[in-house]
Amino acid sequence: MDRDPEPDSINAEAGAINRPRTSDRSAPGHARDYRWRAAPQRYPDPDVIVLDPRFAKIKVGTAVIERLFTGMRWAEGPAWCAAGQYLALSDIPNDRRLRYFPDDHRTGKFHAPSNYSNGNTYDWQGRLLSCEHGTRRVVRYEHDGSVSVLADSYLGKPLNAPNDIVVHPDGGIWFTDPGYGSLYDYEGYKGELHHKEAVYRIDAAAGAMQLVLDDMFMPNGLCFSPDYNRLYVADSGISHYPEAPRNIRVYDVRDSVRLTNGREFCSMALPAPGGDLLGLADGIRCDTEGNIWAAAGWAGAGYDGVHIFAPDGERIGQVLLPEICANVCFGGPRRNRLYMAASQSLYCLAVEARGAHIT
């Protein structure tokens, strides 16, 4: 008789990572079993929603949403390491960073403690960059294992709590600082926010940092367009500011170091019978065709998951998940596997799209 495999344990003291053993509901009226080695899901996956023919071209009809593992408390910051062929991601409340190896589904501890790390990415030299809530800093893990502090203050005062991070071909490192990790003791250390929520750029070569925008309520996820001429930033300020918009903004990048012409790229409100579903975007990524893949949540079934927007800002597709999605990235040898860090679990979906950037 077939039996589920034994749970994959990372660190009993930090909390075990277990294969899923319960059924979930991903969309209204659609029962789905996400257990490891559960009954096969019929193609095409009913939770990969085509809203526009442009998404039909990048949806793979014989690919289904896979839950790779569960057991985290708040999954964030997925980043693909091309050199090691693994995915790094943060489990913020458990103060650890994990690694997932797709070749054998092995999951293990990467860094613990991680200083309540949130967003992660890799730079052009293959070094891990991370935003730490607990220390309010941006750090780089060097090839010899040492850690370099790239930013921890602005105008002589500690940063709020760096959140998400991307790199530019000129070596610049851009990160958001909304302060979520300093608002509660659950994902960092509760403390005073010393600055207006903002986006900063680090000149890693010169060791200098500059403020590049502070006209948003709580800038969260960010990504560049394929040509690096635009920067997209998700505003999740509705979590604490009732007047904040539910949107993603876009800015023109000038001289690789400054932003101009800020405007709304898309609204995260989803039209639905009986009234709009009012969620928000968190982490975002861009594919080589300029489509924006936005981790979305806080509106329930039929909304939570990933929303895909064409370059003109039109929503063209959705990937529905049974959990709030916090962040996404493209990975795999061809960068055509969408990894989704969603609340307690990591999910994956093969798509006919490729990530536009190195992670």
User: Mean pLDDT in each 10-residue stretch from start to end of the chain (359 residues)?
Assistant: 34 38 40 75 93 97 95 98 97 98 95 98 97 98 97 98 97 98 97 98 92 98 98 97 98 97 98 94 98 98 97 98 97 97 97 92
Mention every residue, 6+ apart, whose C-beta is less than 8 A from residue 267: 245, 246, 247
Q: What is the pLDDT of residue 1?
A: 31
Residue 153, classified by CB atoms within 10 Å of its CB into exposed (0-12), middle (13-18) or buried (19+), is middle
- CATH superfamily for 40-350 is TolB, C-terminal domain (2.120.10.30)
Q: What is the pLDDT of residue 319?
A: 98
Pairing mode of beta strands 86-91, 75-81: antiparallel
Residues in the chain, overall count? 359
With beta carbons less than 8 A apart as the criterion, state whether 81 and 330 touch. no
pTM, two decimal places: 0.92
With beta carbons less than 8 A apart as the criterion, state whether 253 and 314 touch. no
**Alpha-carbon gap, residue 256 to 110, rounded angstroms:** 33
Domain range annotation of the chain: 40-350
Pairing mode of beta strands 219-224, 230-235: antiparallel
Cα-based distances in Å from 47 to 26, 269, 303: 7, 19, 11
With beta carbons less than 8 A apart as the criterion, state whether 24 and 322 touch. yes
**Alpha-carbon gap, residue 5 to 225, rounded angstroms:** 42
